[in-house]
Chains A and B, each alone.
Chain A
Amino acid sequence: MKLNRKEAPQLQKINKLRIPNMESFSLDNGIPVWLMNTGSQEILKIQISFPAGTVFQNKALLAFFTHKMLFEGSKNYSASQIAEKLDFYGAYVDTKTSKDRAYLNVFCLTKHLDKVLEVVVDVLTQATFPEKELLIMANQEKQQHIINQKKVKTIAQRTFNKKIFGEDNVYGKLAKTSDYDLIKCHDLQGFYKQFYAPQFWSIFVSGKIEETSLNSLQKHFGQINISQKGANITNPISFTPPILEEIFIAQKGALQTAIKIGKIGLDRNHKDYAAYSLAQTILGGYFGSRLMKNIREDKGYTYGIYANTTHHNQRSIFSIFSEVSSSVSKEALKEIRKELKTLRTKEVGNQELQLVKNYISGSLLRSLNGPFSLGEMMRMLKENSLPDDYFTQHINDIQNTTANDILNVCNQYLHEEKMLSIMVGS
């Protein structure tokens, strides 16, 4: 039989996700734990979540440095002892602070969990924030900050952030170079005492969880003394609507101009979220998107252009970002607006719509692949109080969305003239 290479193989619809069961329980002292027991390697990720994001700080960089400094010394161990111990067991820790929360991720071999947790819990409950280490770290971070300030990308992102939330808003405020000199140990100690108290912890475990792993969790986390019952800490923010202006910041000699355009987006539980995420994907959410096709593949203005939504607890932000050749930055901006306009004035064709639906299903399947991605998904669902079958539901909603739904959503939420535009370059 002659092979017909012009004809694509038959496709199958992907609408089933394989999501293992999540389990949850409380440790002896009441700290909640969620488990995602899956995977074939003997490894674990322990994620501890704290209500310690930048929204809770009353001084710039407090949340960031408190989190980063946790492993720089505890009552029982010096910074180098902590590092030595964790390195010895081949464990990795990484820290992440967002506007809302702070996360500590611990990766280790299942067999070393007990030893690793001994150190981790000691550090988390008895961190000392030594002055010398803070001074060194603050200097290093300051240098990094200064380097980043040179990048058109960073300037565009920072300006966008300030303008979309408002400069005095807790989401909008960003650290300045001089703030790095003002951060003091006792500030960190105060923030730590308040926002890292164990009654506020949530623990998410993913990977190959053995009976002994559960014992180790109980032994180390479950025996921490909790004096007060934890109430959820919240810090409701009042927002003023952003001014939708067009801002150009000149950077002499920049070969590329960073463009960031956006507005307030939709939250994951919004009734129009499926149509909205389809619109966003069609526009700039994958390699074959309209923006990528037009601005990169047709015109060669850029190496890449993307649209996405960043979800914060109290606000979601839609944005388009690219670094384009400075000589064509005006044309690029015009083309971006043109694509936004087309999206709300002309119904998306059936073939493109079907492709994007299939693409989204495939990429959900991909992102729910492997123990740690699944663990991340579990945390996202729990922290946002979304149902366990959220993704299955989302795939269904995506499949049932029509071209007309997308048109409506774009007219309502993604109007090209109702966007904040920032350009940084020459």
Chain B
Amino acid sequence: MIKFDRFTLDNGLTVIVHPDDSTPMVALNILYKVGARDESPHRTGFAHLFEHLMFGGSANIPNFDGPLENAGGENNAFTNSDITNYYVTIPKENLETALWLESDRMLNLAFTPKSLEVQRQVVIEEFKQSYLNQPYGDVWLLIKPLAYKKHPYQWNTIGKDISHIEKASMEEVKTFYKKYYNPNNAIMVLAGNINLKEAQVLTKKWFANIPDGENIVHKLPQEPQQTKARRQTVEREVPSDALYLTFPMCHRLHPDYQATDLLSDVLSNGSSSRLNRRLVKEQAIFSELDAFISGDKDEGLFIFQGKPSEGISLEEAEAALWTEIEKIKTETIVDIELQKVKNKVESAMIFNEVSVLNKAMQLAYYEFISQAEDVNTEVEKYRSINAEEIQRIAQELFVSEKSSTLFYRSKNNTQ
């Protein structure tokens, strides 16, 4: 149970406060409701590039990191398809420094040409390091456009293509900031060694006079129902083949979301899970195999990914995986198996609450998708799921016509 209070400033900034005096630190998390899904198809990777620019100095403070480090703080940020999230942890004595810094970059950025040029280069290097210069690094660059044809989830957070980053202009950068980086488009969470009163005084002082911006309506192209199986095969310089199989699934707030998550747990969470026990351990068809959900806000993906063992072809591996999939569609899972995955979810949630930063991020995320209160009712939703629901979802989800299959072939194996 995470106890918290919420208040909203006149400019629309939502502030959530969770006191926890077992720590000498405060975690400050600011979520901006903008992600890669909000990008234009011609300027993909923009939300993430922007995350880098947020460290390039603001209206009144030339450098973000220096003063924060000087105060004993540490920070980072991430961007995904739905959000851009910035976070700081700092000794409570120096919390105000973090608020001073964060409020100034919410107010306005410095927008120096040097910062844009350098961060453009840094992001290009990040693109190479994570996606191009790694074995299997480009997998997601292939899967997403295969699985999505209309919705912006078809591109990755890093972008479709390096050229989009190369061409980003200062004008575009400024427009993006003006549209999305406003108090009314943000959720701020303070968690840790702080009480509501202190939080109110400090946030009013630093954030109340930031003007609000336009109200954002996310009108995104909807993904049409998939009616034909999609397949793609690529060859790469990798040591072994890999298989990827995806199916469209419901959005984050759909009543089936938690049951779909549990379905992925039954299949693949922990070494006693079905896929691991049967296909990796007993039959040794795969050397590794996972099933997981993308967890996006809009309609997401249910993903299987695996590497066949030495001597097993992609075709054989795919057939074996489908046999397991058919089983879960036709046989109801037994009580103890269901209870096990529920216990695991519950335990994972409690472990997640160890760190105030995790708690701050969770509160912000739940507030973004619906309301922060839901963080405390989530476990109940998992508890109430029965085996029939999971089976129904498996039947609805795992239909050949709705599948996208990627064969990632090793060049060595094809010779």
Contacts and interface: CB of A to CB of B under 8 A. Distances in A.
Contacts of A80: 272, 277, 281
B93 A14 contact: yes
B376 interface: no
Contact of B59 (A5, A18, A146, A325): A5
Main secondary structure of the interface of A (DSSP, over half): mixed
Contacts of A14: 72, 91, 93-94
B128 A139 contact: no
B22 A5 contact: no
B189 interface: no
Interface stretch (B114-122, B390-398, B401-409): B114-122
Contact of B66 (A92, A151, A288, A303): A288
Most chain A beta-carbon neighbours within 10 Å: one of B65, B74, B91, B97: B91
Contacts of A108: 347
Contacts of B135: 147, 150-151
B70 interface: yes
A3 B205 contact: yes
Contacts of B134: 151
Contact of B339 (A5, A88, A299, A300): A88
Interface string B90-101: 110110110010
A90 interface: yes
Contacts of A286: 69, 74
A372 B352 CA distance: 12
B22 A39 contact: yes
Contacts of A86: 270, 272
A11 B22 contact: no
B229 interface: no
Contacts of B70: 11, 354-355, 358-359
Contact of A3 (B72, B209, B281): B209
Nearest to A152: B133
Given A8-B97, A301-B125, A303-B129, A147 B117 contact: no
A136 interface: yes
Contact of A359 (B72, B126, B129, B353): B72
Interface in B98-114: 100, 103-104, 107
B18 interface: no
B72 A361 contact: yes
Given A8-B67, A18-B24, A300 B121 contact: yes
A332 B130 CA distance: 19
A298 B125 contact: no
A286 B71 CA distance: 14
Interface string B322-363: 000000000000001001100110111011011100000000
Given A42-B350, A83-B271, A83-B272, A147 B128 contact: no
Interface string A3-42: 1011011111010001000000000000000000011111
B410 to A, nearest CB: 10
A151 to B, nearest CB: 7
A300 B133 contact: no
List the 5 closest pairs (A to B, CB-CB), nearest first: A362-B72, A300-B121, A90-B347, A83-B272, A9-B96
11 contacts: A3-B206, A14-B93, A71-B271, A84-B340, A88-B343, A90-B347, A296-B118, A297-B118, A362-B74, A362-B90, A370-B354
Given A42-B350, A286-B69, A300-B117, 5 more contacts: A43-B350, A80-B277, A84-B272, A90-B346, A136-B281
